[in-house]
Amino acid sequence: MSVNRCVCFISRLQRHFNSRTPRITTSSCHASSGSSLLQGQHRPGTVVWSRDVSSNSSSPKPPDTSLFVPVSLKADASADGGVGIELTQPLDKNELLKVLNRFYKRKEMQKLAADSGLDARLFHQAFISFRKYILEMTSLPADLHIILNDICCGAGHIDDIYPYFMRHAKHIFPMLDCMDDLRKISDLRVPANWYPEARAIQRKVIFHAGPTNSGKTYHAIQRYLAAKSGVYCGPLKLLAHEIFEKSNDAGVPCDLVTGEERTFVDPEGRAAGHVACTIEMCSVTTPYEVAVIDEIQMIRDPSRGWAWTRALLGLCAEEIHVCGEPAAIDFIKELMFTTGEEVEVHNYQRLTPFSILDHAVESLDNLRPGDCIVCFSKNDIYSISRQIEARGQECAVIYGSLPPGTKLSQAKKFNDPDDPCKILVATDAIGMGLNLSIKRIIFNSLVKPNVNEKGEKQMETISTSQALQIAGRAGRFSSKFKEGEVTTMHRDDLPVLKEILSHSVDPIEIVNALVLSPPSQDIFVSLSQVDGLYFVCNIDDFKFLADMIQHIPLNLRSRYVFCTAPINKKQPFVCTSFLKFARQFSRDEPLTFDWVCRHISWPLAPPKNIKDLVHLEAVHDVLDLYLWLSYRFMDMFPDTASIREIQRELDDIIQQGVRNITRLIRASDTTVTDLLQAQSNRHGQTGRGTGSTHFLTGSRGQRGQRASGQMMDSSLASRLVRDGLLTPDLLQQLQREWSKDQKQDNSTHARGRKQKEPEGFLKWGFTAT
């Protein structure tokens, strides 16, 4: 070994031994932490309000260490080479293992580690990794090798291992060195201070409170149009587009800004004084004279409420006009008290009355022009719309996943007095954003799927707020019906509806504030502190996308943007497309028009059945995703105009499909009917006796009818397909299994082993036990 290397390492060891004490503390060793990286990862975004949270004086809560994932380390050879061995001697692995196990069992070491952020779980994980590192490395760093040799020889104390153990622990858990920084940026207790521009001015807040169809938004919009500059913030693209058109029709130049669209009225692209936008897209740095925040009660929404919180606290406007339910008044007053701003309340009454009928509809034969049947699932919409048209009546169909253009087209068809379509079948998507001429609202069900605070999906009876929002669509002031009616389809639901509507809307007590920070958002949420009025919002969708693209190499900013993309995670094709977009982006290859057309198989044919229609809706969502990303990465998504053009064409194709929706349902059922009929005929040719020649067997021992096209509406298979519990593909698989079982039965019969079949079961290839 060269003299220079000896001098170098002896000087390092000398400095080390001079600083050693019999019990070395954590300050003796410093390892790189990567704190700057984590600091860049955690950016506060939004907060929500909750009265039962810790106060400002509360001590910082410990992190949830189950969220800490150790970083894998490469077992590279030490840069010191074999200096440690040359200065001392090779280490005995067996003796070394005993030393390490003694170190692990020392309570003093565990306590010291806990003081440095290593609880029992992390201490165990770090020790396992440290022991593996010591035993498997061919050459250790010289200073660690010498310390271990001294301990094995009885010349050192076992506690001397501690600083090296902590150095290793901080390498595999780099977040340990920046927990204080994480706690600082996770302190969400005063979200009003996130918006210094808004706090620098004295804003006037006017709350327009009233039920649906009370004119509250109308009065706010009149002030918006009269102002020199203004911003309208709505929950839906449809609402933003409506205000955009109203403003320009009134001679007030107005731009449109949504996640997927930017429309400037000025030919040269200069910004107008007024802008209509979806609430997530509003600017909190641009000064306005008037701002309108619509549907303020959505501030409590677990997923989107953060956008209302951000707009209310952050908009730089002289006047903030808030529109919503009276149940939000006290909460908004209390929230504005934290900013030192007073709230002026304007109360409005409903312009036209609506009444709850004393009888249910009970049958589709009792429908009248102007009726709207409200369902909470697309399967119910398909079923009811087909039954209506089977009675010789036309109906319009509106549900949430339809493109905005298709919704407007169906609404126009229903509202047109010269159109034969007089009945509407819709989900609660009609609750806002569409002007509809409805005489009577009919609830087909009072139960709908909801997502709770934990992000779990559950079936719940609709709330008073939801029921009033939907019922309020009957008898609108601008429609030909000056009085509305509300009832249910089923008799048993009517007293439940009356009970729901008899209650007052629960006052809002919490608001949503979001915090997003890939990839350690769970750690951020576990450390976050909120006070008094706020809670951290649900970020399950964000985490879903983060997990999906975790393996794709993206820089931090790009990964963050992709994770905030608004996609429907229930659509497999949309999720697949999102993944392909991220992969193409990571390769630094632009997503061109031709690439997208190949991916979606453009041009697309009109739908032949419901499955085709659902796929076209998913393709429309994919094009929306492209447009959304194109405004964040313009160079990588360059063909916005071409994509928007084919999206308009796709919208027309979907509109055509929805107009023929009952024909598509019949086509879907025909596929199933043909399979059932073919199977029934085949079964009848090879069956054994009367019982086996019939597809269905009565539950009380009666012989069922053959499955035919005429009997499909009442058959179990038809109901399963209609409810989405059975697909034609699954039916074919069951058919093959059934055929296989039939062959086995025939073979058994040929050998004289006759078995009596139990009555009362659907002979579907299953064995009754």
Can you read off the two tokens belonging to residue 369?
Answer: 């022009």
Q: What are phi and psi of 139, to 5 degrees?
A: -145, 125
Strand, coil or helix: what is 752?
A: coil
Q: pLDDT of 658-669, one tens digit each? A: 888 767 776 666
User: Domains in the chain, start-ordered, CATH in brackets?
Assistant: 3-30+69-172 (1.10.1740.140), 191-347 (3.40.50.300), 354-502 (3.40.50.300), 540-659 (1.20.58.1080), 672-750 (no CATH)
Q: From CA 423, how far away is CA 415, in angstroms rounded?
A: 10
pLDDT for residue 480 is more than 50: yes
Which has the minimum average pLDDT: 79-88, 123-132, 150-159, 556-565? 79-88
Residue 650 has what pLDDT? 95
Q: Give the 3-state secondary structure of 527-553.
A: HCECCCCEEECCCHHHHHHHHHCCCCC
Mean pLDDT of 10-17: 43
Q: From CA 722, how far away is CA 669, in angstroms rounded?
A: 8
Q: Are 44 and 515 in contact, with CB atoms under 8 Å apart? A: yes
Q: From CA 601, how far away is CA 671, in angstroms rounded?
A: 24
- Select the more confidently predicted residue: 61 or 306: 306
Residue 83 has what pLDDT? 75
Can you read off the two tokens belonging to residue 7?
Answer: 């001098």
Residue 354 has what pLDDT? 86
Mean pLDDT of 567-577: 92
Across-strand partners of 205? 320, 343
Residue 305 has what pLDDT? 87
- Select the more confidently predicted residue: 143 or 757: 143
Percent of the residues in the chain that have a pLDDT greater than 90, as a whole number: 36
Residue 190 has what pLDDT? 74
Q: What are phi and psi of 49, to 5 degrees?
A: -105, 135
Mean pLDDT of 130-153: 85
Q: Residue 16's pLDDT band (boundaries 50, 70, 90)?
A: very low
Q: From CA 291, how far away is CA 314, in angstroms rounded?
A: 11
pLDDT for residue 636 is more than 90: yes
pLDDT for residue 767 is more than 80: no
Q: From CA 470, how far away is CA 464, in angstroms rounded?
A: 10
Q: From CA 35, how far away is CA 173, in angstroms rounded?
A: 11
Mean pLDDT of 206-233: 94
Q: pLDDT of 368-390, one tens digit each? A: 999 999 999 888 898 899 899 88
Query: Where do the DSSP E strands lie in 437-591?
Result: 440-443, 447-451, 457-461, 484-488, 511-513, 515-516, 534-536
Q: pLDDT of 58-72, one tens digit each? A: 455 566 666 677 777
Closest among 466, 467, 474 to 497, alpha carbons compared: 467
- Give the best-scoring range by mean pLDDT among 17-26, 190-199, 449-458, 637-646: 637-646
Q: Are 203 and 341 in contact, with CB atoms under 8 Å apart? A: yes
Q: Residue 765's pLDDT band (boundaries 50, 70, 90)?
A: very low
- Select the more confidently predicted residue: 677 or 754: 677
Question: What is the Cβ-side half-sphere exposure of residue 31, based on CA atoms within 13 angstroms?
Answer: 17
Which has the minimum average pLDDT: 35-44, 298-307, 446-455, 643-652? 35-44
Residue 121 has what pLDDT? 84
DSSP H or E run through 206: strand 204-209
Which has the minimum average pLDDT: 75-79, 253-257, 549-553, 708-712? 708-712
* Four-point Cα dihedral 54, 56, 59, 63, nearest 10: 60
Mean pLDDT of 412-435: 89
Residue 542 has what pLDDT? 84
Q: Residue 741's pLDDT band (boundaries 50, 70, 90)?
A: low
Q: Residue 42's CB: how many other CB atoms inside 10 A?
A: 22
Can you read off the two tokens belonging to residue 750?
Answer: 């040929």
Closest among 473, 477, 503, 489 to 357, alpha carbons compared: 489
Count helices and strands (H / E) in the chain: 29, 20
Strand, coil or helix: what is 222?
A: helix
- Give the best-scoring range by mean pLDDT among 149-158, 448-457, 467-476, 647-656: 647-656
Residue 9 has what pLDDT? 40
Mean pLDDT of 219-226: 96
* Four-point Cα dihedral 444, 446, 447, 450, nearest 10: 110
Average pLDDT across the chain, whole number: 77
CA angle 518-523-527, nearest 5°?
Answer: 130
pLDDT for residue 332 is more than 80: yes
Residue 275 has what pLDDT? 97
Q: pLDDT of 711-733, one tens digit each? A: 334 455 555 555 555 555 666 66
pTM, 2 dp? 0.66
- Select the more confidently predicted residue: 590 or 29: 590
pLDDT for residue 358 is more than 90: yes
Residue 251 has what pLDDT? 95
- Select the more confidently predicted residue: 562 or 55: 562
Can you read off the two tokens belonging to residue 101?
Answer: 């196990």
pLDDT for residue 203 is more than 90: yes
Q: From CA 711, how far away is CA 669, in angstroms rounded?
A: 11
Residue 66 has what pLDDT? 63
Q: Are 337 and 199 in contact, with CB atoms under 8 Å apart? A: no
Q: Are 486 and 450 in contact, with CB atoms under 8 Å apart? A: no
Q: Using a CB cutoff of 8 Å and minimum separation of 24, what contacts does 538-544 make?
A: 538/302, 538/303, 538/451, 538/453, 538/454, 538/455, 539/514, 539/515, 540/455, 541/303, 541/569, 542/516, 542/518, 544/569
DSSP string, 664-712: HHHHHHHHHHHHHHHHHHHHHHH--HHHHTSS-B-TTS-B-PPP-GGGG
Q: From CA 264, how far away is CA 242, in angstroms rounded?
A: 15
Rg (CA), the chain: 34
Residue 209 has what pLDDT? 95
Q: How far is CA 381 from CA 14, 19, 330, 423, 753, in A?
A: 81, 77, 38, 12, 49
Q: From CA 43, how far away is CA 540, in angstroms rounded?
A: 17
Mean pLDDT of 180-193: 69
Residue 659 has what pLDDT? 82
Mean pLDDT of 603-626: 93
Q: Are 118 and 176 in contact, with CB atoms under 8 Å apart? A: yes
Q: Residue 295's pLDDT band (boundaries 50, 70, 90)?
A: very high
- Select the more confidently predicted residue: 331 or 179: 331
- Select the more confidently predicted residue: 201 or 450: 201
Q: From CA 689, how far away is CA 756, in angstroms rounded?
A: 10
Q: Are 362 and 491 in contact, with CB atoms under 8 Å apart? A: yes
Residue 37 has what pLDDT? 28
Strand, coil or helix: what is 5?
A: helix
Q: Are 136 and 93 in contact, with CB atoms under 8 Å apart? A: no
Phi-psi region of 459 (alpha: psi -120 to 50; beta: other; left: phi over 0): beta
Handedness of CA 407, 409, 413, 416 (dihedral sign): positive
Phi-psi region of 295 (alpha: psi -120 to 50; beta: other; left: phi over 0): left
Q: Are 199 and 341 in contact, with CB atoms under 8 Å apart? A: no
- Select the more confidently predicted residue: 529 or 423: 423
Q: Quick one: how far is CA 132 from the chain centroid?
A: 41
